[in-house]
Each structure stands twice: as structure tokens, then as C-alpha cells.
Amino acid sequence: MSNPRILPAIKGPQDLKELNHEQLNLLAAEIREFLIEKVSKSGGHLGPNLGVVELTIAAHRVFESPKDVILFDTGHQSYVHKILTGRQEGFDTLRQRGGLAGYPNRSESVHDVIENSHASGALSWADGVARGFNVQGIKNRTVVCVVGDGALTGGMAWEALNNIAAHHDLPLVIIVNDNERSYSPTIGGVATYLSTLRTTSGYEKFLDWGKNVLERTPVVGQPIYETLHGVKKGIKDIVAPQGMFEDLGLKYFGPVDGHNIEALESAFTHAKNFGRPVLVHVITEKGRGHAPAVNDEAEKFHAVGKVSPQTGLPLKKVAPSWTSVFADELVQIGHERADLVAITAAMLGPTGLDEFQAEFPDRTFDVGIAEQHATTSAAGMAFAGLHPVVAIYSTFLNRAFDQLLLDVALHKAGVTFVLDRAGVTGDDGPSHHGIWDLALTGIVPTLHVAAPRDGATLREALREAVEISDAPTLIRYPKGAVCADIPAFERRDGIDVLYRGESADILLLSVGSMATMAVEAAAQAYREGVGVTVIDPRWVKPLPESLITMARRYKSVVVIEDGIKHGGIASTVSELFREEGLTIPIHSIGVPLEFIEHSTRNEILVDLGITVQTITRSLVSWSSALKQLELTQVEPSKIPRE
């Protein structure tokens, strides 16, 4: 007779207190089974969560959430936390409309705090929460920050560490989830882990990790590393890795085996009782317990779509993506131009730069989770005679706006930014939608912005962008499969005409990937007696001057975009017309100024009224209103006089 399963009985962290360590290990195995089954069906961040099972169990055993505040950097490693805080029954709805969010979400649980899922920020949150308690005289509440996935490569994390170290009275525990290295100790006990690690290849790997972190630390990192390792090679076995952090003012515990619950509990208990800022270094294996995630490329299993739980292979054939088109064209240009270099911020594979790296490893730079550094470094490379291509997600450009504005644009640096995942992205939630870039970049002088509508215009825009050496350029495109090419039947002064209905009164300006929808809506409107001309300016900043001449022929202009309407392309068109004295009515179809929760992209577009059917109805309605207005207008000469 088999033993009853443990996981269904876990309704909250308090239930963990009743389990012995044998039961806890069985629970960890059940959680991994659960994650593989559920995430394979819904898609999500599988690899990171498989690696933090024991870490999260131990944290909830030692710390008393929500009294003790547990913060995650980044939030995609919080699935196990959700399971242990009463939400396992909701995992069938993970990342689906009305279901569990893929990141912590305050509306779901009092155990969740940070909803923003951008990396490197949680240490600042931790500092702020701990100081807030301290100022109010609140005692016996520990703030715990789980930092992982390279977050310490971000400059903001080190700004926070610098401030945390300066305040020794803060009860703050930093758990560094180092899942970049695999390590398997043979004995238990926190006291023995460091010596064990020193006698394995894992220790050498840890030292490399420490060196990389410190060398990226502003001002103090390199001197500390040189002090510890510059005298002679053998000194690394004397000083131990804790010196790297304790010289920064942080108490260091570890390294700890991240898959040994007893060792983790012991380390966390010591850290909690210390009562001052402590860093606990935990070594975990990303994807642990799932052979495809461990044996194949780890990056591929960081986040997955719907896959086979046995093989990890996608359940449906993946169509060519916008990312793959960009990657292919960049490699081709790279063979033609030796001055072309590529920069990424820890997103080599997701942005497609892994293909460029395979061909040109010496011309590819991964700076870690450091978009600000990537942007300013690119300006320096441009000054030195290179043409950098910085490929990041649209939502992550937000973090580097100041550098884009004052380091790149002010200096008219020949840098090309390529923004993947632009527009409404769907199930990753509000902090991952790429809906801000058009509004943000619209106020940046000297910057040129392109929004290609298909694969062909993406290739064309990329080639045009890298030819511009005296100003920055930016290209944006959405997540997912690239649409079929939409050929223009005419290109007039830089503007592609995609559709022209007879006796057209409405000029429909389509931005980027909205073109397919715009053309279909125009065709449907024509069948209802409304003439529409659809144009694609290709470069939406600056807008072609010929747009003014073209617009004068129409009675109204409609702009459709997948960014926020406030400050977007429609706003730019409106300002342009006002400056030219044009009084043509402008209608805007886009994203309202609000945070959009997780759902599929299609569900969100339906909610926003950005569908062929709703656009068609709007076109017909606006045309009817325009005609009604014309009928009610009376020429001044025919107005009766008293």
C-alpha cells in the first residue's frame, strides 16, 4: 500500500512545520512532478522553479510569511512559493485569463509583494521594506530577498547592496540563488559545505562566478578581487569566498547545497538569528528533476510554451518568428560588414543573437541584466567606429531611457536598437507588455523609429537602420510568428500604400504588425460601402513629410497601433497636423493608458477593441457620422438673414 501524497495536504506555510525531513524530501519530489505536469500544459517558467523547490520549502519553514516578508527577484521563480501558500489548486489556470499570474500578485495572496517582474530591483525593495519597519520601531519582522537568475549583474542590485551594507541594524536576509552552476556535495551540514566545495571543480566555478560578479561591481569590485587574488594564486584557498562580500559589509553564509533542506534550514536559521544584513549563497541546479531541462540547453527551459511533460518538446510546430527573421538578416549583414557588433542583456537566445554569436563570437557582447550599461556602452562603441545592434525586449528599454536619451541620442550615436516583444505580449502580465516604447521614444530627439509590418520589411528596415551612422535607430516588432508578407502596390515618398478602396474618404495609417488587421478591416468596410486607403509609413519617427500632402485628400484619418494611445503615433500625427494647420479629424485605435493583466494576446486585443470586426464597425460608424455632419452643414450664403 503506497503512502498518501503529501502535497494535497499543504494549504499554507504552517503545514510545513508538521513534516519531518524525510517527508519534506518526498514533498519536494511531488512538487517537481506537479510543476512538470502543470507548466507543460500552460507554458511558463519551468526551469527556474524546478531549481528552487528545496530552497522555497526551507525558506517557508524558517521564516514566517507574511509576517516575515519574502521578496523574489525575479518573480518567475515564485511558482513553488505559490504552491506552498495555498494556490496549488489554481495551477491549471496559470497565466490564463482570470487565473494565477506567472509572477507574484498581491490580489492573489498576502504572501505576495512585488508584482513587477523586472530583474535586479528586489534588493532595493528589501532595503525599503526593512527601513520602513525600522523607522516605525517594528521589531521581529525579517525581510527575505531571493535573488537569482543573474540579477546581481544589474547595477541597481549593487546600488542596493551598497546601501544595505551601510545599515547594520536591518534584519535582512539575502538568499542568492546561484543556479548557473551544478554542484553535488556528498555530505551534509552547513559547516562542511565550504570545505567540500573547495575540493571540487565546483569551487573553481564558484570563484569564477565571484570574479565575474565583482568585476562588474562599480568602483569597489576590481580592487576587492585584486586584493583577494592578486598576491598569489594560492590565496583563494585561504580567504574563502565570504571575503568577497564581507569586505562590502555583508555577513556571508555558504555556499550551501540548494537541494539539501536540512542544510538550507540551518543556514537560514543562522541568518535570521543574526539580526543584521546577511547574504546566504545557495547553489542550485536549474531544471533539477526534469531530464530535458538538465540535459538540453538550460536557456531553452527557462521558459517554455506548451510542451510534452516527458520530452520537453513543443506540442505544436513552431512557425517562423519575427525573432528568427531578425536573427537571420543580422547574420547576413554581419558577413558584409566587419564593423557590425551585437549587444544583449542576458537575452542571447530569446532575442536571436545566439545565431550572430555562433558566427561572430568576438563581435557579440552579453553584458548581463544591465540594459543601462548596454545602452551607454553601445554609444562608446559607436564613437570608436563600430555600429552596435542592441537587441532587448521592448519592456526592458524602459529601464535605459535616460541612457538612450542623453548618452545615445544627445551624441547622435550610430546605434541600432532592436525591440523584440513590442506591443501586447499576453500571458506574462503587465510588466512584460511592450506597449510603452512608441510613446517613450517619440520624445527622443535625433532617434529614428521603424515598425516593420512583416518579415520582408523587417529585413529592409534593419539594413536601412545600420546604414545610418549619425543618429540612433530603433526597430520594434511583436512576439510570436511573423505574418505573411504584405506587398505594397505603391510606395509614394517613403509611404507604402497597402489598400485603396474606391472613393476613399478615410485614410487608415497602420503601425507595424497592425497592417494585416488594417487591410482586412478596410476590405470589409468597402463591402459595406465605406472607402478606406491603408498606408504604412514604415518609419514612424520622424513621420514622412509626404503624409501631410496625402492626408489633405481625405476627410478623416485613423491611426491603429499596438502601443498606448497617449503619446503614441496618433498623438504625433495630431500634433503634426495642428502645426500644419490641418483640421482633419483624427481617430485613434490603440491601447488605453492602463496596466493590462495577463491573458492571451488575442483575448486582450478583443478587450481593447483591436480586432478586424471592431475596427470595421468603427470605420463604418465614423464614415456615417462624417456624412451626417456634411448633410447638416449649411453654406454661409444660404443662411437666412433676419
329 and 353 in contact (C-beta within 8 Å)?
Answer: no
Which strands make up the sheet holding 532-536, listed edge to edge?
Answer: 490-492, 495-500, 532-536, 506-510, 556-564, 586-591
- DSSP labels, 104-170: --TTT-TT-------TT-HHHHHHHHHHHHHHTT--S--EEEEEETTGGGSHHHHHHHHHHHT-TT-
User: Which of the 8 DSSP states describes residue 482?
Assistant: P
| 371 catalytic per annotation | yes
Q: Which of 61, 286, 288, 453 is catalytic?
A: 286
Distances (CA, A) of 110 to 69, 81, 103, 105, 577: 10, 12, 14, 9, 50
Mark whether 286 is an active-site residue.
Answer: yes
How far is Cα 419 from Cα 393, in angstroms, rounded to an integer?
A: 5
Residue of 265, 329, 371, 561 marked active site: 371
Distances (CA, A) of 424 to 186, 345, 397, 429, 489: 48, 21, 15, 10, 29
Distance CA 248, CA 548 (A): 59
CA–CA gap between residue 598 and residue 602 (Å, rounded):
11
Structure-block grid coordinates of residue 358: 555562433
Which residue in the list 399, 421, 476, 565 is annotated as catalytic? 399
In the structure grid, which three cell numbers stand for residue 351, read together?
532575442
- Residue 104: is the preceding peptide bond cis (ω within 30°)? no
Active-site residue flag, 82: no
Do residues 451 and 560 lie in contact, with contact meaning Cβ atoms separated by under 8 Å?
no
Residue numbers annotated as active site: 286, 371, 399
